[in-house]
Structures are given as C-alpha cells and as structure tokens.
C-alpha cells in the first residue's frame, strides 16, 4: 500500500461553493466508456495489471470456511499457471490485490492464505455495520477493532449517509476520524455509497471530507445499492483525489466496486485512472477494483490471447 494519508483538520471552506457541471462529466465519462480498447499483447498486459488491482470479494450470507479457502487459493493463483508461463513475463507470482470478507471470516482467510503460501496478500474486511451503517457508533468501532485483531490489514467502512444527506459534514468527518484511529496500522477505505448520496455535489463533498479525515482510499459503493460503480461518479471522485493531492501532497487511492464484471470494464477504469491521475494510480497501492466475478472474464480473455480460442467453463475453474 502507499504511504498513509494522515488527514488534515476539518476545513469547511474546502467543500463550500462546489458546482458540478453534470453534462460535461457525462460527456467525459462517455469518451472513456465508448473508446476502442487496447488489443493483442497490450490488452493482455493491461488485464494482468487489472488482476493485481482486484479485491477478490465474497460477502454472502452463506460464506463458510471452505468458500473462503477457495477464494484465497484463487487470489494466490488468479491466472492458470500454464497461461502465465505462456505469456513469458518476468513476474510470474501474480496475485490479486487483496481478498475481502466479513469480519467473522477474517480468521479463516489468515489460515487459508498461510496454507497456500499467500501471506503477502492483504486481507480486507468490510466493517461498521456494512452495508447500511445503521448500527451504534461504538458497535461500528468495535467491529473495526475485531477485524484488525483477527488479521485484517485493510478495513472498508461505510460512511454515515444520514449525516451526508442532511449536510452534517463535520459529523461525517468526526466519525471517519474515529474509524481511522480504530484501524491502527490497517489502511482505511471509506465507502461513500454514492448511489444513495443524491447528487454529484454530495459525492464530491463526501470524497473530500473522508480524505480530510484520513481515508487511505475512497470507494464508490458497497455493491448493494441500486446504482454502484459508474464512470461519471468515478470521475468526480478521482478529481476530488487530484484536488486533495494538490492541496496536501498526500496520495489517496480509489476503489470502484459493484457491477464491474467484464475485462473491458476493467480496462476502461484503468484508462480513467491513467488519464486523470497518472500511471502511479494504476497500481494496487493506489487503485483497487472490488469484484467477485470480474476475474473469471479476465482469465477467459487471457486464455483467448494465449490459445486463440475461448475456454469452456470447465477449463477455468473459479473460486
């Protein structure tokens, strides 16, 4: 991960008189979404980069230790070994950026990653009453501490949407600040749940306030809202990151999550990061994709690049 974002004192002037030119945002997002993607060996290289940025995720009610074990094995071996060998790349130890689970499954991840020699892969855990955040603050803070004590190195928290929707941005700041303290050495990713914030102005303000409070990453969605990761929202968030970096020199990461399922989608998000923030923000220390099914399509596209045909379902077993 990148150096920690220490945050700054709350300064309301940073979020005053904010105006978002929505038609311009949509036009810019459309140019990213409709552009022809890279091809051949360049596409394969971009897809391998995307693999290293995936937070391979399971957040299901029927998660079990065996599900988590399969997830961790896939995180350690995301692309079939013979395909990696055929690509003839220097770094053959490609893993996903992290695995992401509920706090109660963190200990299972620790055990599973140790068993498959994947202890270098960070464990991320959602916390703070995910996905709604509608639990008492003490309970949310205790959940963070439990996940960290179990072995989580990254914590994905949800912000208080009630505060955001009523304009209590100091309240959002204060809670996120306490959550960062509860994380200790673990990195903090703040989920804005942008599909529930009501406006792009609120998306920008929530992004900036969370960064002021010390968020190491800002994340679009829980994956449970009606609208999750979409390019116009992502564009507003990464430009808030750019402004925060300009003001403070601190680099904050970005994580789109929810609805990103195709290899083409992954390349589109990577291209946005490269064009808006630069190459450094296309690497896993500053960019993650929250996904559960994306890896399957990426591996399928790499299989096609190597063999010239698409794999049958049984040829690419998924976690």
Distance CA 280, CA 16 (A): 29
Phi and psi at 6, nearest 5°, equal -75, -15
| 70-81 confidence digits (pLDDT tens) | 999 999 999 998
Distance CA 122, CA 76 (A): 11
Side-by-side strand order, sheet with 54-57: 253-255, 217-219, 187-191, 154-158, 123-126, 98-101, 54-57, 289-291
Active-site option among 255, 264, 274, 283: 255
Q: Domains plus CATH for the chain? A: 27-310 (3.20.20.70)
Q: In this predicted structure, what is the pLDDT of residue 40? A: 82
CA-angle at 75, arms to 71 and 76, nearest 5°: 120
Of how many residues is the chain composed?
319
Sequence-separated (6 or more) residues with CB below 8 Å from residue 163:
169, 171, 172, 175
Q: In this predicted structure, what is the pLDDT of residue 318? A: 62
Token pair listed for 25: 């945002």
Instruction: Decide: 99 and 55 in contact? Cβ < 8 Å.
Output: yes
Q: Is 177 exposed, middle or buried (0-12, 13-18, 19+ CB in 10 A)?
A: middle
In sequence order, what are the beta bridge partners of 54?
A: 289
Distance CA 265, CA 296 (A): 13
Considering only 177-186, 269-278, 307-316, which range has the smallest mean pLDDT? 307-316
Q: Flag whether pLDDT at 92 surpasses 90.
A: no
| 39 is known as an active-site residue | no
Q: Of 178, 170, 172, which Cα lies nearest the Cα of 191?
A: 172
Distance CA 131, CA 258 (A): 12
Q: In this predicted structure, what is the pLDDT of residue 36? A: 58
Helices of type H across the chain = 22-34, 40-52, 65-76, 81-87, 106-115, 137-150, 161-165, 169-183, 200-212, 231-248, 263-276, 294-307
Phi and psi at 268, nearest 5°, equal -65, -45
The DSSP H or E segment spanning 156 is: strand 154-158
Token pair listed for 294: 């994306």
Token pair listed for 258: 């929810």
Q: Flag whether pLDDT at 319 surpasses 60.
A: no
| 274 is known as an active-site residue | no
Higher per-residue confidence, 202 vs 1: 202
Mean pLDDT within 198-206:
97
Q: In this predicted structure, what is the pLDDT of residue 10? A: 98
Mean pLDDT within 269-287:
96
Mean pLDDT within 92-119:
94
Instruction: Decide: 112 and 68 in contact? Cβ < 8 Å.
Output: yes
Q: In this predicted structure, what is the pLDDT of residue 37? A: 67
pTM equals: 0.95
The share of the chain scoring above pLDDT 70, in percent, equals 98
Mean pLDDT within 162-182:
97
Active-site option among 74, 76, 219, 251: 219
């Amino acid at each position: 991960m990148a150096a920690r974002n220490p945050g700054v004192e709350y300064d309301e002037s940073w979020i005053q008189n904010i105006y978002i030119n929505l038609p311009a945002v949509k036009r810019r997002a459309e140019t990213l979404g409709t552009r022809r993607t890279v091809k051949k060996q360049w596409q394969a290289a971009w897809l391998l980069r995307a693999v290293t940025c995936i937070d391979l995720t399971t957040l299901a009610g029927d998660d079990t230790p065996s599900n988590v074990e399969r997830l961790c094995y896939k995180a350690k071996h995301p692309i079939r070994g013979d395909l990696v060998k055929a690509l003839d790349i220097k770094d053959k130890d490609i893993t996903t950026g992290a695995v992401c689970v509920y706090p109660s499954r963190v200990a299972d991840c620790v055990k599973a990653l140790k068993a498959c020699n994947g202890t270098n892969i960070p464990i991320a855990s959602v916390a703070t009453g995910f996905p709604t955040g509608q639990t008492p603050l003490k309970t949310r803070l205790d959940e963070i501490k439990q996940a960290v004590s179990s072995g989580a190195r990254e914590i994905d928290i949800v912000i208080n949407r009630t505060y955001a929707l009523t304009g209590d941005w100091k309240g959002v700041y204060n809670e996120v600040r306490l959550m960062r303290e509860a994380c200790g050495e673990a990195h903090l990713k703040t989920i804005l749940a942008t599909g529930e914030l009501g406006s792009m102005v609120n998306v920008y303000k929530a992004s900036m306030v969370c960064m002021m409070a010390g968020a190491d990453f800002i994340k679009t969605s829980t994956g449970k809202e009606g609208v999750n990761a979409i390019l116009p929202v992502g564009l507003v968030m990464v430009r808030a990151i750019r402004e925060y970096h300009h003001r403070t020199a601190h680099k904050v990461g970005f994580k789109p999550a929810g609805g990103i399922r195709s290899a083409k989608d992954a390349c589109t998000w990577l291209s946005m990061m490269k064009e808006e923030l630069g190459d450094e923000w296309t690497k896993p220390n500053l960019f993650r994709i929250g996904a559960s099914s994306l890896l399957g399509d990426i591996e399928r596209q790499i299989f096609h690049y190597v063999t010239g045909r698409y794999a049958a379902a049984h040829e690419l077993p998924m976690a």
